[in-house]
Amino acid sequence: MRLTEIRIAGFGGQGVILSAVVLGKAASIYENGFATMTQNFGPEARGGACSAQLVVSDAPVLYPYVTHPDIMVIMSQEAYNRFARELKPGGTLIIEEDLVRVSNVNLDKKVYSIPATRFAEELGKRMVLNSVMVGFFTAVTKLLSVDAVRKAVADSVPSSFRELNLKAFDKGYEYGLNVKAGAPPELEEAEYAQE
């Protein structure tokens, strides 16, 4: 994996920081690469602005701060309004489609969207939307292997929520594979298995 700058942003309670931890762990532990993470959040425990900056590479990371992200994961409108302009030309923008309205996107950026909150609610717990987003990220970016990220998810959540988070990861990953393939997002679960 080449040096890649990633910003994940949303609001407190969406699992922004945990998403970055999972991806960093996948890169550094399960793919034998390197990762650094910095985080920023408001004083509110839930609902305040929150962001995590992750740098992953196959060589030691010499500067831990994100300057112009190659990939941006945005889970709230406030985060989009604040950070979207920082995305590098040719970069990848991943959004929570029910919470973020995209405007003024240059044609040189790839934009992928997923109803991650809705999927998490369908699985029974809204709090697993971050695992849905991590799965989607894995499928559309191909930056990290699915096995490495799946192991990192399993290793990063409490054991009582492990199975649910893995289901959420799989849901996001399968949806991402279909988005990348150009298939309609309404595909049935049985059709995902053909991938």
DSSP 113-132: EE-HHHHHHHHT-GGGHHHH
Percent over 70 (pLDDT), the chain: 87
> For the chain, how many residues are written?
195
Q: Residue 24 maps to which CATH number? A: 3.40.920.10
Tell me: pLDDT of 93 over 70. Answer: yes
Going by C-alpha positions, the residue among 23, 28, 21 that lies closest to residue 58 is: 28
* b/e code 31-67 from CB counts within 10 Å (16+ = b): bebbbbbeeeeeeeeeeebbbbbbbbbeeebeeeebe
What is the tens place of the pLDDT at every residue in 27-59? Answer: 999 999 999 999 987 655 556 678 999 999 999
Whether the CB-CB separation of 185 and 179 falls below 8 Å is answered with yes
CA 90 to chain centre: 18
User: Domain total for the chain?
Assistant: 1
For residue 144, what are the domain limits? 4-192
Task: Determine which of 55-59, 73-77, 135-139, 188-192 has the lowest per-residue pLDDT on average.
Answer: 188-192
Helices (H) and strands (E) in the chain, counts: 7, 6
Tell me: pLDDT of 125 over 90. Answer: yes
Tell me: pLDDT of 120 over 50. Answer: yes
pLDDT class of 191 with cuts at 50, 70, 90? very low
DSSP 11-42: ETTS-HHHHHHHHHHIIIIISS-EEEEEEEE-
Q: What is the pLDDT of residue 12?
A: 84
Q: Determine the straight-line distance between the first and last CA of the chain, rounded to whole angstroms.
A: 24
Going by C-alpha positions, the residue among 102, 119, 120 that lies closest to residue 111 is: 102
pLDDT class of 105 with cuts at 50, 70, 90? low
What is the tens place of the pLDDT at every residue in 144-166? Answer: 999 999 999 999 999 999 999 99
Q: What is the pLDDT of residue 174?
A: 97
Q: What is the pLDDT of residue 189?
A: 40
Q: What is the pLDDT of residue 40?
A: 83
d(CA 38, CA 53): 5
d(CA 169, CA 150): 7
- The single-letter DSSP state of residue 166 is H
Please state whether the predicted TM-score (pTM) of the whole model is above 0.85: yes
